[in-house]
Structure 1
Amino acid sequence: MKISYNWLKQFISTEKTPQELSLILTDIGLEVESLEVVQGIPGGLEGLVIGEVKSCLQHPNADRLRVTKVDVGQQDLLQIVCGAPNVATGQKVVVAPVGTTLYPLSGDAFKINKSKIRGEVSEGMICAEDEIGLGPSHDGIMVLNADAAAGLLAKDYFQIKDDYCFEIGLTPNRADAASHLGVARDLAAYFRTNYTLPTVGSLKIDHVKSPVAVTIKNPQACKRYTSLTISGIEVKPSPEWLAEKLKVIGIRPINNIVDVTNYVLHELGQPLHAFDADEIQGGQIIVRNANEGEVFITLDEVERKLSSEDLVIGDREKPLCLAGVFGGISSGVTAKTKRVFLESAYFNAVSVRKTSKRHGLKTDASFRFERGTDPNITVYALERAALLIQEIAGGAISSEISDIYPTVVEPFIFDVSLDRVRKLIGKDIANEEIKEIIKSLEIAILDEKSAVISVSVPPYKVDVTREVDIIEEVLRIYGYNRIEMKQQIKASLTTVSKPDKELVQHTVSDLLVANAYYEIMSNSLTKMAYTDDESTVVRILNPLSGDLDVMRQNMLFSSLEAIAYNQKRRNANLKFFEFGKTYHLIDGQYVEKESLSLTITGALEEQQWNQQTENITFYDIKSAVDALLKRFNITNYQTDETKGNYLEYGLQYLKGQKPLVNFGKVSSDVLKKVDVSGEVYFADVDWDLWIKTIRKNKITYREVSRFPSVRRDLSLLIGSDVDFGHLKRIAEKTERKLLRSIQVFDVYTGNKLPSGKKSYALSFELQDEQKTLTDKQIDSVMQKLILNFEKEVGAEVRKA
């Protein structure tokens, strides 16, 4: 939100500089994010002075140049070479001495330097109005009135005043401060002084002519509607003072009528809307809900289909405006408008927000209505705008003020304990000071009994509805910086359930990052096409767009979109992981589930001149999953092949009947949906089940054995349906004490083997913690392994 310093001073008298006010505003909860100087004229005429031409002689070496002597209020006259045809002795002119920077209307800024022009020294420049940004003329130099004093600063002569623009980071709870009036109210409370409102006492109804009747069909969505009609206006550009006020806060002037509504909006915080009264069919305004699917063309010339939940301002035939959000093209003020119908209303905040979200329209009006406006300022704002329109557009008030207010919005009334104020703030503030602050915030004190006061909070303070809100108000005006920090802070210790989920997540993240994975964070909102099951999808009631209309049911497509984004930017070798949540609607209940996803694609290493790159395979994603399992000592799981909606093939690690990890190659059909090329491998970890599993795991550490390990190899001919996992389980069951590890280091299939057979070469690592193994012990273990392989899977030992 932008606030003008000069505009603010029209409400509250203060000698504080803009920089000092910035600190004060931040202290009272209106954080100033930036403060910028705004100059009505570029450069602000800085460095320019008024001069008097004392002499003007023909240049000895140039027919079109003059050599002048100019008095600029200094001891010595300046010699300036000038080419303007109208320069003459005795003139009062604008002079740019050496060192001054000029900002012309066209072209870049430039600095005046001391120079020689055709052999004559020139110590400045006599300026034309376009050269200093004051006007378009370049016919000659500016000649000022004779009473202009030589040496006077040009910005003082032309009364050029700089303004300052505060950029305030307005928090959602401070709707009451969304205007110059709102900020002035807070400053007045801080300074314990009064603020001044523009007077509207001169409003005069000239004559009533064809009044517009107003009917409200939804008083819950439109709780107050005030209006009047102004006839005989002239739509034209706004006067300079109004245009400059709006420009300072970043508002582009449009015409005098629209500019007045914008001016009052930013001055008082009350949105207004001006209709071309002659475009209101039947002379009647109807505040109603739109018909489902009703077509409406807004001011931006976009055709929109309305919902039956949208509140519209219409006439007898059609909608004219989305209430509190945006006007319609058919009733907007144009150069031909001669009569305006002016609206100042109080709309339901929830209704406006839903309409704004539904149609993707964010306006200054909806920003304020969504947060809550003041129901008691509608008439005053209407009168203020009507007087301004009369002042700058002419015309006469041609109707009585219509004020439809069926149910008065009451103030918030509740009790506040002064002792509790002190307790929560942590400072012994006197009762009288607390009450003084409360009164300065325009909160009335109705009664007081035993240090408990009854307060009445005006409706414009929409966020002050409880005792604790009053305490917050008192604290911010009293000053956060006045609350001393205690030297000793006491806090209770809380126990954390084991394992610590955050610590586990950090451990996993560190492991993956060490293996060249990058963490990504994705939006939980996604599109319907990415869901697993539409019957269990969690839908968004007011989606921001068609691509963000449901909550995600899986982690895959978030990763694929990140891969697609990188591939389009020639970044193809990718390894991602992400912690996130998925959402389902099961048996009428919303279910939220935490997951960890791993996604890899491309090559293992970047391309090098001296080595051939290898593409990532299924075993790379398997290796990452196995590393995680090993890190947390998860061993007692079942392995099963998997092929689901998204995986072309892969594996599933099961804990009981629940899948702990699913991983494999993503199918090409899925990749086409997201426009991803190449092969992608994906792992989905049930993070809730992971935490539950490791809660029961105990990781023990033991001393490294002093005795050597022994490796033995076996080449087995087995059936093609036998996998390594089966062989591993047989080996671990056969020898539990001495077997440290089993690995497959070669697989062979081919026409030299019997049909339905394959060859596995296995390595076995054996070790005794207490002594060195003998050949007899090793041979005994290997024989038992061979016998069990033959018995369990019909394996045959292949001999060289």
Structure 2
Amino acid sequence: MKISYNWLKEFIETDKTPAELSAILTGTGLEVESLEKVQAIPGGLEGLVIGYVKERIQHPNADRLSVTRVDVGSGEDLQIVCGAPNVAAGQKVVVATVGTTVHPSAGEPFKINKSKIRGEVSEGMICAEDEIGLGTDHGGIMVLDADAEVGSLAKDYFKINDDYLYEIGLTPNRADAASHLGTARDIAAFLKIGVKKPDVSAFKVDDTSRTVKVVVENEAACPRYSGVTISGVEVKESPKWLKERLAVIGIRAINNIVDATNYVLHELGQPLHAFDADAIKGDTVIVKNYPEGTIFKTLDEVERKLSADDLMIGNAEAPMCIAGVFGGADSGVKASTKNIFLESAYFNAVSVRKTSKRHGLKTDASFRFERGTDPDMTVFALKRAALLIQEIAGGKISSEISDSYPNPVAPFEIEVTYKNIHRLIGKEIPHGEIKSILTALDIQIVGETGEGLSLKVPPYRVDITREVDVVEEILRIYGYNNIEIPTQIRASLNTSVRPEKDTVQNLISDILTANGFNEIMSNSLTKSAYSSDQDKAVKILNPLSSDLDVMRQTLIYSGLEAIAYNQNRKNADLKLYEFGKVYSLNEDKYTETQRFAIFLSGTDKQEQWNQKANPVSFYNLKAIADGIISRLNIGDLTLEESTCSKLAWGMQYKRNGKQLVKFGKISPEALKKTGVDKDVFCADFNFDMILAAVRKNKIVYQDVSKYPSVKRDLSMLIDKSVTFGQLKQIAERTERKLLQEVSVFDVYEGDKLPAGKKSYALSFTLQDNEKTLTDKAIDSIMQKLIYNLQKEAGAEVRR
């Protein structure tokens, strides 16, 4: 949201600088994301002064040039060569002195230097209006009024006021602040000053010659509808002040009628719409819903099919406007319009939000209506706009104000206690200060006891409906920075030795960071195209965009998006990890699960003079996954193949029949969805299962064995379908006490082997912590291993 500093000061009297008001706004919850100086005219007429032409003589070497002597109030006259035909002694003029940069209406800025023109010294420039950005006329220099003060600044003479633009990150709950008036209210409450609203006392009905009947058929979707007719207007370009005011906040001027409604929208926060009154058939405005599929052409010349749930503003024959969202092509203000019907309404926020989403239309009006506007503002805004239109477009008020408001919106009634205020804020604020803040926020105190207050909150504060909301209002105006940080923090000691979530997460983060990984944090909202099962997707009822319309079902796509972003910027060697929640819908029950994922792409190590850059592989990923599992001391795992739509192929560790982690190479389909063009390997952990397993761990310290370990190797021929994981499990079941480690150090598949077979060479590490192993004991263990590998895996052991 854009707010003008100069415009803001029309509502409050303060000498605070733009930077000081920025700090106040941020401190009260309206975060200022940027503060920018805006010049009404490029260059702001800096360096230009008012001068007096004392003398003008013909240039001795040029027929079309003059040599002038100009007083600019500096004590010494300047000699300036001028080519304008209208320059003469006795004139007050605008002078650009040496060193000044001028900004012409057309062309690039240029700097004024001392120079010689046809042999005569020139110490500045006497300016035409197009040369300094004040207009387009280049017929001669600007000749000012005789009362112009010599030596004064040109920007003061022309009343050029620079402005400052606040970019405020407005949160969805603060619909009341979506205007200059709303923003001023917060500043006024903080500074304990009043707010000046525009004066509409001059509004009067001239006659009732053009009365338009208003009928509201859907009062639930339109609780209040106000309107008035203005006849005899002249549609033309807006005055300069209005165009400049709108331009500062990024609004393009259209014509004086539309600009007036936009001005009031951003001034008061009340959307308005102007209809061509001659296009209102039957002189009747009807607020209703039309049949499903009704065709309606909007202002952008697009024909849209209406839903039966779309609230429309129509006339006796046809729809004219999508209520609160967008106007129609046939009823809008045109250059030929002479009479207008001005609408100011209060629409149901949910109705507008659904219609806006349904048609993909986001406008300044819908932005405010779908968050909640002020039902008590419609008539005031109508009078303000009508007076402004009369001022800049002429015309007369030719009807009474129509105001359909059968069921007035009541204020929110809330009870608050001082005890809860103090408890939630963490500081005892004087009761008088609390009441002063509430009054400044336009919250009415209707009752008071020793324990608390009874309040009535105005309907425009749609975010204040509970006691805790009132406490938040008190705190933000009192000032977050005024809540002292205690010098001591008291807490009960936690004697539990069970690792908590943060402890385990930090441990894993330390492992990954030490191995060169970077942590990423992604939005839990994502696009529905990433959902593997649309029926289980948790859909957002009011998505911010089509790319953020569901809750994520996996961390894989958010990781791939980060990889794509980096690869597109020539950063292809990536090691990333992320902790986060995933969401799903199962039989009308929502579930969320804690997970974490690690990603590898590119090369494992950078190429150096003594080593080549090798691309990452599945085994780099598995080593990291195994390292995490080993560090957390999670046992009783089985390694199996994994089938997953997002993995081209992969493996999984299961514990008690449930998947702890799946890891492998990302499928080409998943890479294509995110625009990744290189191989990516991913491990996706169930973090909830990890926490459960770690909390049941009982780690007992063991002395380092004093006795040596022994290694024995076996070479065997096995079926291609047999995995190392199966062989390892057989070995661990065979010898539970002395077998310390099983590893594979050679794999061979080729033509020299029988069909369907592969050769494995395994290494077994044996160790007894109580005595040195004898050859007899070792041989006995190896015989058992050979027997069970032959029996359970069909291995042919090579001697």
Same fold per superposition (TM over 0.5): yes
Residues 358, 544 of structure 1: 8 Å contact kept: no
Cα separation, 2, equivalents of 1:39 and 1:578: 45
Secondary structure at the residue paired with 1:147? coil
Relative to structure 1, the CA distance from residue 581 to residue 765 in structure 2 (aligned partners, 3 Å threshold; closer, same or farther) is same
| Contact 2:173 2:371 (C-alpha < 8 Å) held by counterparts | yes
Question: C-alpha separation between the residues in 1 aligned to 2:8 and 2:668?
Answer: 62
- Pick closer, same or farther for the CA change 1:195–1:762 going to 2, 3 Å: closer
**Alpha-carbon shift at residue 530 of structure 1 (Å):** 4.3
Deviation string, structure 1 residues 72-124 (Cα, Å, up to 9, x no partner)? 22322222222323222222221222232222112222332333334433222
Which amino acid in the other structure matches residue 402 of structure 2?
S
Aligned twin of 1:123: 123
Matched, 1:743 2:739: no
* CA distances 1:453-478 after superposition (whole Å, capped 9, x unpaired): 43333222323334444444444444
2:725 aligned residue: 725
CA distance in 2, matches of 1:53, 1:667: 80
Tell me what 1:48 maps to.
48
Q: Give yes or no for contact 2:606–2:612 (8 Å, CA) kept in 1.
A: no
User: Secondary structure at the residue paired with 1:641?
Assistant: strand
Distance in 1 between the 2:225 and 2:127 partners? 55
Task: Tell whether the 8 Å contact from 1:228 to 1:401 is kept in structure 2 after alignment.
Answer: yes
Partners of 2:571 and 2:389 lie apart in 1 by 59
- Tell me, what secondary structure is at the counterpart of 2:366? helix
1:503 matched residue in structure 2: 503
SS of aligned partner of 1:371: coil
Contact 1:73 1:151 in 2 (8 A): yes
| Contact 2:717 2:757 survives alignment (8 Å) | yes
| Deviation sequence 1:497-554 (CA, Å, 0-9, x none) | 8332233223333333444545444454455554444443433444555555544444
Q: In 2 relative to 1, CA 538–267 (structure 1 residues): closer, same or farther, beyond 3 Å?
A: closer
- Residue 151 of structure 1 corresponds to 151
Superimposed CA distance per residue, residues 580-635 of structure 1 (whole angstroms, 9 cap, x where no aligned partner): 43333222212222333344455545567876665544434433332332222223
CA contact (8 A) 1:49 1:152 kept: yes
Alignment of 1:630-779 (within 5 A): 630-666=630-666, 680-754=680-754, 757-779=757-779
Counterpart residue number, 1:134: 134
Give the partner amino acid of 2:308: S
Cα distance, 1:587–1:272 mapped onto 2, change above 3 Å: same
SS where residue 165 of structure 1 aligns?
A: strand
More moved, 330-339 vs 769-778: 769-778
Say which SS state the counterpart of residue 261 (structure 2) adopts. helix
1:612-623 maps to which residues of 2 (within 5 A)?
A: 614-623=614-623
Which residue is equivalent to 2:595?
595
Contact 1:175 1:372 in 2 (8 A): yes
Distance 1:14 1:555, change over 3 A: closer
Equivalent residue for 1:5?
5
Q: How does 1:194-205 map to 2 (within 5 A)?
A: 194-205=194-205
CA distance in 2, matches of 1:727, 1:624: 22
Cα deviation for residue 21 of structure 1 reads: 3.6
In the alignment, structure 1 residue 294 sits paired with structure 2 residue 294: yes
SS in 1 for 2:728: helix
Comparing 78-87 with 616-625, greater Cα deviation is found at 616-625
Kept after mapping to 1: 8 A contact 2:210/2:231: no
CA deviation vs aligned residue, 1:226-267 (integer Å, no higher than 9, x gap)? 001112211001112222222232222111101111111122
Which residue type is aligned with residue 6 of structure 2? N
Contact 1:94 1:154 in 2 (8 A): yes
Is the Cα–Cα contact under 8 Å of residues 416 and 467 in structure 1 kept in the other structure? yes
**Alpha-carbon separation, structure 2, partners of 1:340 and 1:567:** 56
Correspondence 1:573-584 to 2 at 5 A? 574-584=574-584
Residue identity opposite 1:177 in structure 2: A
Alignment gaps of 5+ in structure 1: none
Match of 1:308 in 2: 308
Does the CA contact (< 8 Å) of 1:360 and 1:544 recur in 2?
no
CA shift in 2, pair 1:490/1:288, >3 Å:
farther
Cα contact 1:270–1:377 (8 A) shared by 2: yes
Q: Does 1:164 align with 2:164?
A: yes
Q: Deviation digits for residues 410-438 of structure 1, max 9, x if unmatched? A: 12234444565556555565544443443
- Cα separation, 2, equivalents of 1:345 and 1:492: 56
How many residues end up aligned between the 2 structures?
799
AA matched with 2:117: I
Does residue 369 (structure 1) correspond to residue 369 (structure 2)? The answer is yes
Measure, in 2, the Cα distance between the counterparts of 1:435 and 1:672.
60
Equivalent in the alignment of 2:177: 177
1:256, 1:660 → 2: CA distance?
66
Residues 358 and 543 in structure 1, CA contact (< 8 A), matched pair in contact too: no
Match of 1:37 in 2: 37
Distance in 1 (alpha carbons) for counterparts of 2:569 and 2:450: 70
- Amino acid aligned to 1:354: K
**Identity rate, percent:** 64
- CA contact 1:185–1:441 (8 Å) conserved in 2: yes
Would the aligned equivalents of 1:532 and 1:554 in 2 still touch at CA under 8 Å? no
- Per-residue CA distance 1:273-332 (angstroms, 9 max, x = gap): 111122223332222235434333332334443333332222344432222222222222
Question: Offset of 1:722 from its aligned partner?
Answer: 4.0
Give the secondary structure class of the aligned counterpart of 2:223: strand
User: Where does residue 224 of structure 2 map in the other structure?
Assistant: 224
Alignment partners' CA distance in 2, 1:747 and 1:580: 38
* 1: CA distance, partners of 2:162 / 2:676: 55
Shift of 1:679: 5.3
Structure 1 window deviating more from structure 2 (398-407 vs 581-590): it is 581-590
- Measured after TM superposition, the shift of residue 347 of structure 1 is 1.3
SS in 1 for 2:652: strand
Structure 2 letter corresponding to 1:236: K
Q: Which range is displaced more, 681-690 or 420-429? A: 420-429
Deviates more, 1:627-636 or 1:435-444: 435-444
Deviation at 1:171, TM superposition (A): 3.6
Aligned-pair distance for 1:169? Answer: 3.7
Aligned residue number for residue 463 of structure 1: 463
CA distance 1:561–1:141, shift in 2 (3 Å): closer
- Residues 524, 392 of structure 1: CA spacing in aligned structure 2 closer, same or farther, 3 A cutoff? same
Q: Greater shift after overlay, 761-770 or 12-21?
A: 12-21
Compute the TM-score of the two structures, normalised by the length of structure 2. 0.90
Cα–Cα, structure 1 residues 57 and 170, in superposed 2: closer, same or farther, change >3 Å?
same
Q: Is the Cα–Cα contact under 8 Å of residues 640 and 725 in structure 2 kept in the other structure? A: no
1:332-382 Cα shifts (integer Å, max 9, x gaps): 211111111111111122222333333333322222223322211211111
CA distance in 2, matches of 1:791, 1:33: 71
Distance 1:97 1:198, change over 3 A: same
Are the equivalent residues in 2 in contact too, given 1:4–1:165 (CA < 8 A)?
Answer: yes
TM-fit CA distance, 1:61: 4.0
Identify the residue that residue 209 of structure 1 maps to in structure 2. Answer: 209
Aligned residue for 1:66?
66
- Name the structure 1 match of 2:388: 388
Task: Identify if the C-alpha distance between structure 1 residues 292 and 476 changes in structure 2 by more than 3 Å, giving closer, same or farther.
Answer: same
Counterpart amino acid of 1:85?
P
Residue 351 of structure 2 is matched in structure 1 by 351
Residue aligning to 1:626: 626
Structure 2 CA distance for aligned equivalents of residues 786 and 429 of structure 1: 80
- Distance in 1 (CA, whole Å) between partners of 2:200 and 2:645 is 69
Are the structure 2 counterparts of residues 624 and 193 from structure 1 closer, same or farther at C-alpha, using a change threshold of 3 Å? Answer: closer
CA distance in structure 2 between the partners assigned to 1:190 and 1:624 by the alignment? 54
Q: Does 1:442 align with 2:442?
A: yes
Give the CA deviation at 1:495. Answer: 7.5
In structure 1, the residue matched to 2:261 is 261
CA distance in 2, matches of 1:475, 1:371: 23
What is the RMSD computed on CA atoms of the aligned residues?
3.3
Look up the equivalent residue of 1:461 and give its one-letter code: R
Report the counterpart of residue 284 of structure 1 in structure 2. Answer: 284
